[in-house]
Amino acid sequence: MSAIAASLPTDAGAAGCGDAPVLRERGQREVFCGLTGIVWLHRKIQDAFFLVVGSRTCAHLLQSAAGVMIFAEPRFATAIIEERDLAGLADANEELDRVVARLLGRRPDIRMLFLVGSCPSEVIKLDLARAAQRLSQRHMPAVRVLHFSGSGIETTFTQGEDACLAALVPEMPAEPGSARSLLVVGALAEVVEDQFLRLFAALGVGPVRFLPARRAADLPAVGSGTRYLLAQPFLAETARALDARGARRIPAPFPLGAEGTTLWLHAAAQEWGVGERTFREATTIGEQRARHALLRRRERLSGQRVFFFPDSQLEVPLARFLARELGMVPLEVGTPYLHREHLAEELALLPPGVMLSEGQHVENQLDRCRAARPDLTVCGLGLANPLEAEGLATKWSIELVFTPIQGYEQAGDLAELFLRPLARRARLEV
């Protein structure tokens, strides 16, 4: 057996939950809307501004999710649609143009402006695509104006990032010829990007680019030589847009935990024809460090039963990580959307017998959760407090999107996020 085969899971690609039936539910949902994505995207693209065209509710959501920035110039805001705007679209467009002109006049540092649609802007059918085109013509070359929807009608909060990245894809320059490059897709913390860059360099895989880039002018090129790795499991639209530009996805599990990170890197290494000895040399130390960090958490998490409400779309990769690397027992893994193709490698690694559910009927799911009495419930903020009051330990799924959790160095922190609510509850019960 080769060194690589010895260390990679032997059942990678086996059935797991690949063919498991999925409970599909449609009913009331308890999720945040896509505007939430602005909270991490504005930190990531450092010269972009996100202008939500919405209501006071949208403004409140953003303020409470992001907190108030006292020292920095804010890089998001809400243009409030007043009641009188509902009567005349022409007025709303003129007002939007005025707001944008004022904003850009005051903030010469802005290089990319996103007009972000909301429920109210969609209800009054304000055409933000056309507005973005009109405003781009007016403000180019200094500022590029794009648009995407963060509306809560039929979305979950991570779809905001998907919509934003999908809006960037048509703006990416064409890769000359069919030059080969690796594109890592999905917003990652800078520290994580830097770690991955070092690993890919050691593997000889490259050039490596990231979408989104840290600055608007650094949008990566794309073409038929582009191979991309998804760093997040909620990027279906972005993947479609990249495919349409000739790029090709490298199928892989997601880089969560020691195993997930190794398999993710290995998929790229195989695409580049990297020898297995080189692969082991480049990854062994990181992988061992991650496994060591997980070991002592495993002692405390092993055997704990976990229940996922659908929220972030990270549920399937997280359940795989918790089950395989920490010995936890996933009872139900609910996800807003189950993208079979992007999750194929993950589903194959999930232990058989896990109940998968897609969509939500919150009352039914709460009944199942109460009946199962899991040791830990991963859910949105709206459900966490009532479940805690019923004596269940909960983990806010949104924290998993705000925290750097990908890669070897973050594996221990990721496990810790699940350990903390259990430790807190144990203290309360003493």
Catalog residues that contact ligand SF4 under the rule CB under 6 A: 33, 35, 54-55, 57-58, 61, 118-119, 150-152
Nearer to ligand SF4, 118 or 195 (CB): 118
In 199-270, the DSSP E strands lie at 208-211, 226-230, 248-249
Nearer to ligand SF4, 7 or 159 (CB): 159
How far apart CA 101 and CA 135 sit, in angstroms, is 9
Q: Is 259 helix (H, G, I), strand (E, B) or coil?
A: helix
CB of 35 to ligand SF4, least distance (A): 5
Nearer to ligand SF4, 32 or 396 (CB): 32
Nearer to ligand SF4, 151 or 365 (CB): 151
Nearer to ligand SF4, 150 or 336 (CB): 150
CB of 33 to ligand SF4, least distance (A): 3
CB of 120 to ligand SF4, least distance (A): 6
Nearer to ligand SF4, 150 or 412 (CB): 150
How far apart CA 360 and CA 364 sit, in angstroms, is 8
State the residue number with the nearest CB to ligand SF4: 152
How far apart CA 174 and CA 106 sit, in angstroms, is 33
Helix-, strand-, coil-residue percentages of the chain, each rounded to 5: 50, 15, 35
Both tokens assigned to 327: 């010995």
Q: Is 409 helix (H, G, I), strand (E, B) or coil?
A: coil
Measured CA angle at 35 (ends 30, 39), to 5 deg: 110
Token look-up 């991309």 returns: 228
Nearer to ligand SF4, 59 or 347 (CB): 59
Q: Are 77 and 52 in contact (CB under 8 A)?
A: yes
Q: How far is CA 71 from CA 67, 74, 328, in A?
A: 12, 9, 42
Nearer to ligand SF4, 157 or 254 (CB): 157
Both tokens assigned to 343: 């999750």
Q: How far is CA 293 from CA 290, 298, 326, 408, in A?
A: 5, 9, 11, 9
Nearer to ligand SF4, 40 or 196 (CB): 40
Token look-up 């024809």 returns: 273
CB of 154 to ligand SF4, least distance (A): 11
What count of other Cβ atoms lies within 10 Å of the Cβ of residue 289? Answer: 15
CB of 125 to ligand SF4, least distance (A): 15
CB of 357 to ligand SF4, least distance (A): 23
CB of 124 to ligand SF4, least distance (A): 12
Nearer to ligand SF4, 311 or 346 (CB): 311
DSSP 355-393: EEEEEE-HHHHHHHHHHH--SEEEE-HHHHHHHHHTT--
Nearer to ligand SF4, 114 or 228 (CB): 114
CB of 67 to ligand SF4, least distance (A): 16
Question: Please, what's the b/e burial string for 168-177 (b: 16 or more CB within 10 A of its CB; e: otherwise)?
Answer: bbeebeebee
Q: Is 142 helix (H, G, I), strand (E, B) or coil?
A: coil
CB of 119 to ligand SF4, least distance (A): 3
CB of 91 to ligand SF4, least distance (A): 20
Q: How far is CA 73 from CA 47, 88, 96, 316, in A?
A: 11, 32, 21, 37
Both tokens assigned to 297: 């958490």
Both tokens assigned to 61: 């959501």
CB of 152 to ligand SF4, least distance (A): 3
